[in-house]
A and B are shown apart, each in its own frame.
Chain A
Amino acid sequence: MDMIDRRLLDEYQHDLPLDPRPFAAIGRQLGIAEDEVIARLDRLRQGGTVSRVGAVVRPNVAGASTLAAMAVPPEWLERVAALVTDYPEVNHNYQREHRLNLWFVVACVDRAGIDMVLADISRRTGLKVLDLPMLEDFHIDLGFGLQWT
């Protein structure tokens, strides 16, 4: 990863040019060609550093979501986590250090869909699922400041 890659990651988290040729506009700012900008972003995406070039949308604009938590007996954790991950409605799924050790986000077009997924997971696992929907969002999203040292 060279300086150009770092600038691509650092300086374009927020304001992708709303120009018909956004990558050409970035290239002009970085002093490289449009197709090199595209090739570099594609490589960073394939390598997993970049998840996508796209939008971060305010939560629950296009649907409903919730954060769910479960206290899973350790010996079941891998199996329950795999069961949860299999739902297309689940977009994050983490093991965390707590008695409530499995945390995941469920997103659907409406709240009824979420209720259905949570009830289904609870029924299939026999475990309680805590439903912790967002009530208020306090974060000012400025992207993520990277420290390269």
Chain B
Amino acid sequence: MDVSARELDLISALSGGLDLCASPYARLGTVVGMSETEIIASLAALRERGIIRRLGVIVRHHELGYRANAMVVWDIPDDQVGVVGRRLGQCDEVTLCYRRPRRLPDWPYNLFTMVHGKDRAAVEAAIAGMAVREGVDHFPRQSLFSLKRFKQCGARYQHRQAAE
């Protein structure tokens, strides 16, 4: 993936969000040593290439009343997981859709989707409806509802020194 060192600096400086001030791109530029014009051009290019998927207001589901979420995991045959993943990844109900490795015997599931809703019943109904509508109801699945949130913040890619 072609991301330059300067772009990585920019992404890293942006990880805590823009300053809420009149000229946030200029402010960001002072952090990474770029002009406002360069920042705006870089952000536009990163979006164009899909490195930045969206730039804007990042909301917290829970605080907006979406208090239930389930990580729905599926055991899909390897030769079908691409097709099924692309289908579920486009569903309105789904906010994340990743293929991950199985870890047998502990963990047989290879497709992970996240579904949010106002309460548990709404999430269960959304999952059941989606499974039937998308023709995936016959695959083994489990819904892992979240019971407690211990920590949630944006990813900050930390340096970990080998000496620690």
Chain A positions 108-149 with a Cβ under 8 Å from a chain B Cβ: 108-109, 112-113, 116-117, 128, 130-141, 143-147
Tell which of B86, B160, B162, B164 has the most Cβ of chain A within 10 Å. Answer: B160
Residue of B nearest to A66 (CB): B100
The majority secondary structure among interface residues of chain B is mixed
Residue of A nearest to B122 (CB): A147
Out of B90, B103, B154, name the residue touching A54 (CB < 8 Å).
B154
Residue of A nearest to B85 (CB): A138
Residue of A nearest to B151 (CB): A93
Give the number of chain B interface residues (Cβ < 8 Å).
78
Give the number of chain A interface residues (Cβ < 8 Å).
84
Cβ of B33: which chain A residues have Cβ within 8 Å of it? none
Query: How far, in angstroms, from A91 to B16 measured CA to CA in the complex?
Result: 12
Cβ of B55: which chain A residues have Cβ within 8 Å of it? 14-16, 18, 54-56
Cβ of A117: which chain B residues have Cβ within 8 Å of it? 160
Whether A138 pairs with B88 at a CB distance below 8 angstroms is yes
Binding site for A on B (CB under 8 A): 1, 3, 8, 11-12, 14-18, 20-26, 36, 40, 43-44, 46, 50-61, 63-64, 71, 82, 85-86, 88-90, 92, 94-101, 103, 106-107, 112, 116, 118, 142, 144-160, 162, 164
List 26 A-B pairs, Cβ < 8 Å. Answer: A15-B54, A20-B25, A42-B20, A52-B16, A53-B17, A53-B20, A54-B14, A55-B55, A56-B54, A62-B157, A65-B157, A85-B150, A91-B156, A94-B147, A95-B148, A100-B107, A100-B144, A103-B144, A130-B106, A132-B101, A133-B101, A135-B100, A136-B99, A141-B54, A144-B59, A144-B116
